[in-house]
Amino acid sequence: RVVLWSRDHHRHRFPSILMKAAPKVPSGVATETNSLLGKWAVKTQSLAELATVPLLAVTLPQIVLNQQNIIAGNSHLLAGISYEGYACGCLGNMLLLSYFSAIDEPAGRNIQAIGVVNTVFLLSQLFFTGNCGDVNLLAYGLCVSVALFGVVSAYFKKQMFADETMRKKTCALYERGVGVFGYTFVPYILSHALFRTSMDFSQLLSLGAFAMISLRCANDYFGWSEKKNVNFFALEQFMRLKWQTLMGWTATLLFSLLPIAQISTSTTDPTNIASLSLVAVVLGGAGNALMFARAWHIRDWCWSLGSFGGSSVGSWGVLLTMFNYGHKQVPLGVFAALSVLHWGWVAFVIWYDDKCKKKPMSA
């Protein structure tokens, strides 16, 4: 029987071509893009993508300033830069690099990878000028090797390991190791940099955090909570929380605590403010402020806290210390203008987002 070619016959034979499903709409973006809420959702997405520009260049001015001081023979000025703070930030980049690689998000992966490389270069400047405290060559080499392994494996994982089983085990071991170290490092920075506690007390807090995260790793391996062989009481939610979510909050706290060490150093010895780059501080604040619009719109509390903390504490807080103790770097007019711009933007985002969500969708 001869079947003539017809539109219905074409639809019957190739339903996947003519009956495609509607494209997926990104999370938080309204389906009715003509509405006020839909337009604001698209705008916040664009702002988040635009934030990559200042964030990628945030450490470059500081690196250039450091190199100028080294060439001029003023390497002692680098002592005002908190290597603990930048090491903390590099660790946060490594945590987020693993996360974005796991969910296959190229833009986020690229930002974190460049952040790791830039920070490693900056820390190398501090180390080879003798401004990394008691850190020895072995510890420096080990940390740099782990950081660069994370960057290379994020892009060339398959080329590095031909055996799939070996690749999965090695990368899982790396992610667990970085996560455990990051979770352990948070209380040390918080206590030592903010509260000026003794080294012994800070190490005791870190030891407690290490015990908790080690217990979590053991539970993931043996499955105690699933088998209900062990009752963790108050730690039950901690044990059931997804590892990526836990590491996301850890990285957020790391970045929120990052500027505290620098503020502490600047207030203790105001002469060290000369080593800070105003351009780097403003770029970091601009990038986080742009991301805050998107984070607040989709009500991602982890992202909102990180971006708000990065812009309010990491940028405006450091600017406040530079203004109070270094008037030559940040005059009153510059500080006032940046303050109005920052807090005005935060207020506008909160107000306008609330306005868009309360307004009925257009037909």
Q: In which element (H, E) is residue 269 found?
A: none
Amino acid (1-letter code) at residue 37: L
Count of CB atoms situated within 10 Å of the CB of 203: 15
| Structural contact between residues 225 and 232, judged by C-beta atoms closer than 8 angstroms | yes
Mean pLDDT for the chain?
78
Give yes or no for residue 217 having a pLDDT over 80: yes
19-23, 59-63, 317-321: range with lowest mean pLDDT = 19-23
Nearest to 318 by CA among 85, 53, 21: 85
Nearest to 313 by CA among 335, 295, 294, 288: 288
Instruction: Say how many Å lie between the first and final Cα of the chain, rounded.
Output: 50
Nearest to 242 by CA among 221, 220, 226, 225: 220
Radius of gyration of the chain from its Cα atoms, rounded to whole angstroms: 24
Mean local confidence (pLDDT), 335-346: 94
* Tokens (6 digits) for 236: 């039950």
pLDDT score, position 104: 67
Mean local confidence (pLDDT), 244-255: 79
User: pLDDT above 70 covers what percent of the chain?
Assistant: 82
Which positions ≥6 away from 32 have C-beta within 8 Å? 38, 361, 362
- Predicted TM-score of the model (pTM): 0.71
* Tokens (6 digits) for 346: 């935060």
Q: Quick one: DSSP state of residue 77?
A: G
| Structural contact between residues 308 and 360, judged by C-beta atoms closer than 8 angstroms | no
Cα gap 84→333, rounded to integer Å? 32
User: pLDDT above 90 covers what percent of the chain?
Assistant: 14
Query: Any alpha helices (H) in the chain, and if so which ranges?
Result: 7-13, 15-18, 36-50, 52-56, 60-71, 83-102, 106-128, 137-160, 164-189, 199-222, 224-227, 236-240, 243-268, 278-297, 301-311, 318-325, 332-358
pLDDT digits (tens, 9 = 90+) for 146-198: 999 989 888 887 777 777 888 888 888 888 888 898 888 878 877 776 676 67
Q: Would you give the distance in Å from CA 303 to the centre of its chain?
A: 9
